[in-house]
Amino acid sequence: MTGMTEKIRIDKWLWAARFFKTRTLATDEVSKGRILVNDQIAKPSKEIKLNDILSIKREGFVQTVTVLGLSQNRGPASVAQLLYNETPQSLEAKSRWVDQRKYAREPSSSIENGRPTKRNRRELDQTRAPEWNERWSASID
């Protein structure tokens, strides 16, 4: 679990601890200022050490964790969970966010396909009544 070094780059650690699927995603999030180390904005090359407190801005909440172990290798999730300890406040915020998402869904999430494509639009036009496809006027002839 603990690597040979006492410090590790934050982007490597976030990837190894399975907060992000790829190291590139972790680097992007750190670059955007969404990751704080001990309440300070970090750069991807920032080295973290044991007992550092990380604040990770998620979609609807901030996840706060304490670094318990350092690893440069991405292993199974069971091992990755041993690298950090999430604070009780963070766990509570996450559960509130999950409940909120469960009972009050985002309206845009119900849209499955978005706007119709050109092909879908043609199919819709063909299924309409023929009189709607012809040119017409509201004036009396």
Q: What CATH number was assigned to the domain covering residues 1-89? A: 3.10.290.10
Give pLDDT tens digits for 86-119.
Answer: 889 988 988 888 888 778 766 666 666 777 788 8
Give pLDDT tens digits for 8-25.
Answer: 999 999 999 999 999 999
- Sole residue written with tokens 């966010």: 97
CA–CA gap between residue 66 and residue 53 (Å, rounded): 5
